[in-house]
Each structure stands twice: as C-alpha cells, then as structure tokens.
Chains A and B, each alone.
Chain A
C-alpha cells in the first residue's frame, strides 16, 4: 500500500559536533546551567590558587638554597670523597634495570628513551665534572644492561636476573656501609653519616624486602589451623595495627637498648629499620590475608586432588593467585612505607625531611622555609606518584580482575 507521506514536524537540526574542541567543551563543560556554574566555579578556584603559586614558584622563590645544599639533601653527611660508592650503587641499579628491560619487558621504548634523554640533558647541564661523568656512566650502564638483556634472552639470563635482583640489596648495604677495619677506598662509613634521600631509600628498600616475607608468613599464620600459631599471629597483627608508627619507632629507639644485655648496642638506623619492618609486616599481613580469602575453595581441593603437599599448594597454586589479586593494595602499602620513613626525624635520624629541617635551622637559610619544604614535597610526591603509576601498569599487564 502506498503509504501516505507521514507529515513530520520540522526536521530536527543535526546533532551537535562532538569531535571538535568546541563540541567537546559543550558536552563536558557547558551541557546544562548547573554544569556551566560548576565550570565557572572551578575555573575561578584554579585562578585564585594557581596564579599566586605559579608566580611564587618561578619568580619569587630563591632556589639557591636547594642548589647550595643539594648534596646534603641527597646523601646527608656521607663523606664527600666516598660519594663514588653511592654512584656505584646507582650504576648497578641502572644496569640491572636495563637487564630487566631487555629480558622481560621489551616494550615501552618511548618511556625508557625519555628517561635516558632526561639523564643525558641533566648530564649536559651539570656543572660539576664528576657529576657529569657519573650521569653519563649511568646512561651507559643502562644501555649496556638493555643490550645484554636483548641479546641474552629470557632462557639464558632469566635465572641470572633473579639472582642479580636478590643479591643487589645486600650488596648495596655492604657498599654503602663499607668494611670495618678497611682503610682508604672501602672504609666503614658508620650509619650516623647516612642521611638525606639515601637514608630514605635505604629504609624503604630494607623495609619492603624484609617485611614482605614476614607479612606473608604472618598472613599464613593467621589462617593456620593450629590455634597457637593463629592466636599469636592475630595478637601480633592487632597489636601493631592498633598503635601509631611513631610510638613503635620511639619504643624501638629508646627501649631496644633496655632489652639487650648491657654493652650490646644496635645501630640507630637499624633500630628504625626494625621498627618500620615490624610495622609494615602487620599491614602487609592483612592485605595478603584479604587476597587469600578471595581464592575459592576449589583451588585447595583441586590441589589436594592432584596430590600436592601443603607447602607446594601454597607456593605453586595459592600464593601466586593471591598475590596477583592484591598487587595494587601491596604497592599502595609500599608507597605508604616510603612516605612513613619521614617519621624517623622524630627519633633524631636525618632522612630527607630531617636534613631539610636542619638546613632550615641554619641562620643563613632560615627564611627559605617554603622553598625547602616545597622541594621535599616534590621529591616525595614524584616518587610516590611514579610508584602508583607503575602499580597501575603492573595491574593491567598481569591482567588482574580479568582472568
């Protein structure tokens, strides 16, 4: 049947363009009157806060206080003639990272290239020839590591790589600390000379490396069938999680000498490390326990059906799955640990924040409070933000939540 033309109203105008900038703005910023109001308020707020901040940052702030004290901020009172040892640790790290990149990652070349480019630019800008040399060696060792990894491949270098990572941290401690009784090149640098960002990193790394297995053990202990172990683990976790970190650090620094027989003393830095590790292990235990709880019972049953022992079930089946689920939470905990190392200023250690405050106590720099604090904030923020970006990438790479 020949239909009549259905008379329509005036044809509607075509839908607004969303591809261009104006279209996008219309959709996201000005779609309704309330939205427009929000946009205007937000713009006003940004202008009010950002403009004075940017003006101060680029024009009024005296950054020479940072330039003058850069070495202090980075390595504290580490003897200047032994700084090459700190650089050595960085070179080793670059080489191992490069190796990891070449063997496992083999991607994200743009990011890697960007980092190396930044280092090269810094090398060109550096005034001190020693620093320039070290930065160039850094770039070189990274490239060497990448090349070696690419050529070697996973099968050949996989084990070496794991071994290198495992050995790296104790080696760093050894290099930084030196050998007692040695004179000249590798002499002992006692821990009261470690300071600044170096101390922050050492505390963080030792905290992460030691508290991770401890936390897993505690989580397993908390879920154990044996009541004694379960109760002791639960008591420890609840006790540590109920008190602030500052009290644990304070207790570690003042009461540890009381617990030892007279004459035996522990390094102050070691006491802080012990306090941080014990604290972090309890929180990690809770996170890992959450992951363990998410594993369906079927996995345990299937492992039993295959005849795997308890230990093998844990290490081969359950823990890999559990840890993969809780990776974002774990990395969040590691970021918290990195930030919490700033609390060691209250027990007298001179980490990044502590050195910053002692610089500000110098009459020469007493009016540069804002500059030093902003710089310290920037350093903490950049490393934490990088770590959280890394955890997001790691999550997608391991396919958490998707398989």
Chain B
C-alpha cells in the first residue's frame, strides 16, 4: 500500500518540479490594468528623478511615470480609430533595465565587414558596431559597456521583440510593415542605401534584361527578396531565385557559379566583394538600383524615452559633423566656441541631456570617445579601408546628402 503512495508522490513530485522549473514566474500583473492615473504634465520632473533612484529593480515593479508621454497618445488614437490600439503602458522601462544591468545589449550582424564584423579574437568592428558604442557612451559614458549579439536574418526581429536585445543596429531597411505590424520604431537613417545586383565581370551582363532566364542568389527573409520579385515582374524579366539561409551560403553559392548574379543592398555587395570574395576585381556591381534601402536602428514599440535616446544620440553625430566638431577638437570647441547651438549640443548650457534621462554632456562624450558621423564613416567605410563606399547620399544636407539633424534646443 505504501509502495503505491511512494510511487505516485515520487512521480508527481519529480514531474511537478520539472514543470515548475520550465514554467515562468507569475506575470507582474495584467498590462491593461496599469492605466495612467498620473497627471499628464511635468514629464521632465518625473523622468529626471528616475535617474539616481535605484528603485526600479529589474523592471519588475517600475512605476508608470516614464510612460506619461505614451499613454495620452494611445488614448487619443484609440478614441479616433475604430481598432483599439493595445495599451502598452508598462513597457517603458528599457532605460532603467539597461542602467541596472550595466550594459546595452546591441543586436548586430557580425558577419558583414565594414558594418559589423566579429574577428576570430572576439572583437566587433564596423559602422553599426560603432553606433552601438556611441549609444553606450550616451547612457554610461563608457564605450565598453555594450554587449554585442550576432543575429541571423531569421532571428533579428524576434530577439528584439522578446527583449533579448535593447536595440538592433543591423543594416535593416525601414519599411512600413516593420514599423507597424512587427511592432518596431525606426531611428534616424544612418545609411541611405539602394538594392543592387552583382555579376561576374566576364559574364557580359550589363542590364536587367540580360538576366532573362538566369538564376539570382538572394538571402531568405529580406526586403531584398521581395523587391527583386517586384522589379523582375514589372520589367517582365523571368528568373529563378536561389534562396539561402545565411550570408555565407548565399555568397558562397554565387562565388561557385551556382547563380548568374547576386542581389542585396549595394553596401553589402561592395563589402562582401572586397572583403569576402577571393578575387574582388572579378565582380562588378551593376549600375541599377532596384529599390530604396534606408538602413537604421530599431527599437521596440512602447518605450518613447528609449526611442528618443537612440534618436538623439544619432542626431548628435550628425550635428557634430554639421558644426565641424570632431573627437580631436571637441575639448577646444567646448571651451572656445560661443555658438549657442554648439554649447547646447555639448551640454554647457540648456540641460538637454537631462530631458532625455541622460547626463547633460552625453553628446560631448559621444563625440570625444566615438567621433562624429564623418569620423565613424571614415573609420569603417572610408577611403583608407578595404570596405570603401563613397558617401553619396550619406553626406550632410549642405553637401547634397540626406543627413539632417533637427535643432538641439
């Protein structure tokens, strides 16, 4: 008789322990219930106070002070549109989570020379990687306080959605669907790119029509895939796509001659051609642009403060280049330059950083420790690098480019 009790309880206990080990902790209360009862005004005072207090531990019991800006908007839109926008009130905790953790989790590519590349010794270098470091400097004042996470094309959105990373700097194209349906906010475009096609130099292909009946290598799950389908259908060129899971397989197949051409963002084509393929001169990027590809950082929906931080860190680099401030002369400019805009940018007057929840000299730190946009560009994609791409549209608006920072005021 006792043997059966023992058996039952033993099995129940073990399985129960296993289940509870796999199961999650109880959720911190239902989200819609956290209605905003705080007064709508005075967001600055509240967010300013959040900074030094260590109360928000792990984001579990955060007060809804940070999303004062968020909820009024949500309520307004829900009154106007027929479909109620879900109230994502309690997710405005990214900054406090990041500060508690002590590092920023930054999602990058890891396999794209010039943008984000992991070398065998474990160091990340590249354009996107430098912007991650700039963000770390803005929040912590230290460019080493960032943990990079190499992501594949498959998982890049999921890891951002689930909170595994705080921001995605992964040469990702801004599109409506990603902005709305997937639940992301896109920061300012840091690289204006276009989709191109690369063919072997000796193939004699110069126009899209020459690719009729051919095979084109493309990577799975990208806007590249969709744009290619659209353009080929519009031009009436029939082709066969060869779709691969990851970057290495795609370009490997192209290099072996499996496809007549490979298509991707022109920046990626050029960095792969120069950095990865065995004979860079044997390949030519056609002078065709299939689509606009504005590449920039992404954050999740529902946290306007974090979104603002990412945005204004990027704008700080644009503005620094606009005013001619570099990492070399930033100390000098801080002491000598009397331009009010520059003084506000560098935090000498105006307390702009505090409005974002950062220190007032965040831009000063970013410029001095990472550099302005031109320096970041030159370091990774400039003329002296193997992954050189001419700046083109990635210049200031004063130089026929599209980089334009709103005023620091």
Question: Do any beta carbons of A and B sit within 8 angstroms of each other in the complex?
Answer: yes
- Report which A residues bind B (CB closer than 8 A): 72, 77, 79, 192-193, 214, 217, 220-221, 224, 226, 229, 253-254, 257-265, 309-312, 346-348, 357-358, 360-361, 363, 366-367
Q: Which residues of A contact B252 (CB under 8 A)?
A: 360-361, 366
Q: How far is the CB of B65 from chain A (nearest CB, A)?
A: 18
A262 touches B163 (CB 8 A): yes
Closest chain A residue to B251 by CB distance? A361
Q: Which residue of A lies closest to B249 (CB)?
A: A357
User: What CA separation (Å) do A347 and B154 show in the bound complex?
Assistant: 9
Closest to A367 in B: B278
Give CA–CA (A214, B155) in the complex, Å: 30
Known A229-B11, A262-B91, A263-B163; further 12 A-B contacts with Cβ < 8 A: A214-B18, A217-B14, A217-B15, A221-B11, A260-B24, A311-B3, A311-B6, A311-B10, A361-B248, A363-B276, A366-B278, A367-B278
B64 sits at the interface (CB 8 A): no
Q: Please, could you name 18 A-B residue pairs with CB atoms under 8 Å apart, sorted by A?
A: A77-B122, A79-B122, A226-B8, A257-B158, A257-B162, A263-B59, A263-B60, A309-B3, A310-B6, A311-B7, A312-B3, A346-B245, A347-B155, A358-B248, A360-B252, A361-B111, A363-B275, A366-B255
Q: Is the CB of A361 within 8 A of B276?
A: yes
Flag whether B97 is at the interface (Cβ < 8 A): yes
A380 to B252, CA, bound (A): 24
A229 to B16, CA, bound (A): 12
Check if A254 sits within 8 Å of B158, measured CB to CB: yes
B6: nearest residue on chain A (CB-CB)?
A: A311
Name which residue of chain B comes closest to A362, CB basis.
B276
What A residues does B2 contact at CB under 8 A?
A: 309
Please determine whether B164 and A257 come into contact, CB atoms closer than 8 angstroms.
Answer: yes
User: Closest chain A residue to B162 by CB distance?
Assistant: A257
Task: List residues of chain B with CB under 8 Å of any chain A CB.
Answer: 2-4, 6-8, 10-11, 14-15, 18, 24-25, 27-28, 58-60, 91, 97, 111, 120, 122, 150-152, 154-155, 158-159, 162-164, 245, 248, 252, 255, 275-278
The 8 closest A-B pairs by CB, nearest first: A309-B3, A257-B162, A361-B248, A310-B3, A310-B7, A262-B163, A254-B158, A260-B24
| B164 touching A265, Cβ below 8 Å | yes
Residues of chain A within 8 A (CB-CB) of B6 are 309-311
CA A367 – CA B151 in complex, angstroms?
Answer: 26
User: Cβ of A261: which chain B residues have Cβ within 8 Å of it?
Assistant: 24-25, 27-28
Q: Is the CB of A77 within 8 A of B164?
A: no
Who on chain B is nearest to A348 by CB? B152
Q: Point out the residues of chain A lying under 8 angstroms from B155, CB to CB.
A: 253-254, 347-348
The A/B interface has a contact count, at CB < 8 Å, of 80
Task: Kindly list chain B residues whose C-beta atoms are within 8 Å of the C-beta of A311.
Answer: 3, 6-7, 10
Contacting residue for A259 out of B10, B11, B24, B163, CB 8 A:
B24
| Residues of A contacting B162 in the complex (Cβ-Cβ under 8 angstroms) | 257-258, 262
Q: How far is the CA of A234 from the CA of B3 in the complex (A)?
A: 24
Given the interface pairs A193-B122, A357-B248, A361-B248, the reply to whether A257 lies near B3 with Cβ below 8 Å is: no
> Distance in Å from the Cβ of A64 to the closest Cβ of chain B?
17
Assess the A217–B24 pair: CB atoms within 8 A: no
List chain B residues, Cβ under 8 A from A361. 111, 248, 252, 276
Q: Which residues on B sit within 8 Å (CB–CB) of A310?
A: 3-4, 6-7
Closest residue of chain A to B155 (Cβ to Cβ) is: A254
Task: Give the docked Cα–Cα distance between A166 and B277 (Å).
Answer: 49
B323 → A minimal CB distance (Å): 39
* Smallest beta-carbon distance A398→chain B, Å: 27
Minimal beta-carbon separation of B257 from chain A (angstroms): 13
Which residues of chain A are near B11, meaning CB under 8 Å?
217, 220-221, 224, 229
Docked Cα-Cα span, A346 to B7, in Å, equals 41
Complex alpha-carbon distance, A361 and B25, angstroms: 42
CB distance from A367 to the nearest CB of B (A): 7
Complex alpha-carbon distance, A363 and B15, angstroms: 51
Closest chain B residue to A80, Cβ basis: B121
Q: How far is the CA of A260 from the CA of B164 in the complex (A)?
A: 11
A265 and B107 alpha carbons, distance in the complex (Å)? 14
Whose C-beta in chain B lies nearest to the C-beta of A359? B120
Cβ–Cβ < 8 Å partners of B150 in chain A = 192, 348
Q: Which residue of B lies closest to A262 (CB)?
A: B163
The smallest C-beta distance from B129 to any residue of chain A, in angstroms, reads 16
Whether A257 and B276, one on each chain, are in contact in the complex, defined by CB atoms closer than 8 angstroms, is no
Closest to B248 in A: A361
A262 vs B159: C-alpha distance in the bound complex, in angstroms?
A: 12
Given A77-B120, A260-B24, A263-B97, the answer on whether A363 and B163 have CB atoms closer than 8 Å is no
Kindly report which residue of chain B lies nearest to residue A364, judged by CB atoms: B278
User: CB distance A262 to B59 under 8 Å?
Assistant: yes
What's the least CB distance linking A246 to chain B, in Å? 11
Chain B residues with CB under 8 A of A367: 278
A192: chain B residues within 8 A (beta carbon): 150
Q: Which residue of A lies closest to B1 (CB)?
A: A309
* A261→B163 CA distance, assembly (Å): 10
B253–chain A nearest beta-carbon distance, Å:
12
Query: Nearest Cβ distance between residue A195 and chain B, in whole angstroms?
Result: 11
| Closest B residue by C-beta to A361 | B248
A155 to B21 CA separation, bound complex (whole angstroms): 38
Alpha-carbon distance A193/B278, docked complex (angstroms): 27
Q: How far is the CA of A221 from the CA of B8 in the complex (A)?
A: 10
Give the docked Cα–Cα distance between A193 and B120 (Å).
10
Q: Which residue of B lies closest to A307 (CB)?
A: B3
**B residues in contact with A220, CB < 8 Å:** 11
The interface residues of chain B lying within 8 Å CB-to-CB of A309 are 2-3, 6
Q: How far does the alpha carbon of A262 sit from the alpha carbon of B96 in the complex, in Å?
A: 14
